[in-house]
C-alpha cells in the first residue's frame, strides 16, 4: 500500500498582518515584523527599525510540514517567523 502526503504550496503568511519573532538566546526579546507582500514561494517583511528595513525571504519547510522564514539570515540559532506567530 502506497501512502502519499501532499502539502499545500500556498503561502501561509497574510499581507498586512504583523508577526512576532523571538530570539533563542533571549526569549524576552521580540521583534515585530509586518508582512507587506506574499508570492507562492516568498514573503516580504518590513521591520519598524529603518536600519533593518524590508527583507524578502524564501519560504522554508520544517519537519512537521509547516513553513517559516528567516529574515535575519540562516545561521546557528537564527530567529525565524512562523505563520502561527501572528499578532492579533
> Model confidence over 25-39: pLDDT tens digits?
888 888 999 999 999
Q: Answer yes or no: is 61 within a domain.
A: yes
Long-range contacts of residues 35-38, Cβ cutoff 8 Å, at least 24 apart:
38/11, 38/13, 38/14
Structural domain for 66, as ranges: 18-87
Residue scoring higher pLDDT (24 or 19): 19
Q: Answer yes or no: is 8 within a domain.
A: no
Domain count, the chain: 1
Q: Answer yes or no: is 77 within a domain.
A: yes
For residue 86 the three cell numbers come to 501572528
Average pLDDT over residues 65-74: 92
pLDDT exceeds cutoff 80 at 67: yes
Q: Answer yes or no: is 45 within a domain.
A: yes
pLDDT exceeds cutoff 50 at 84: yes
Q: What are the residues whose beta carbons fall under 8 Å from the beta carbon of 83, sequence distance 6 or more? A: 12, 13, 19, 66, 67, 68
State pTM to two decimals: 0.81
Name the band, by pLDDT with cuts 50, 70 and 90, for residue 5. Answer: very low
Amino acid at each position: 500500500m502506497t501512502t502519499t502526503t501532499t502539502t499545500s504550496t500556498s503561502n501561509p503568511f497574510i499581507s498586512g498582518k504583523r508577526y512576532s519573532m523571538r530570539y533563542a538566546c533571549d526569549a524576552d526579546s521580540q521583534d515585530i515584523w509586518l508582512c507587506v507582500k506574499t508570492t507562492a514561494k516568498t514573503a516580504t517583511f518590513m521591520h519598524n527599525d529603518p536600519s533593518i528595513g524590508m527583507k524578502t525571504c524564501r519560504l522554508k519547510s520544517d519537519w512537521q510540514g509547516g513553513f517559516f522564514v528567516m529574515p535575519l539570515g540562516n545561521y546557528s540559532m537564527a530567529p525565524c517567523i512562523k505563520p502561527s506567530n501572528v499578532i492579533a
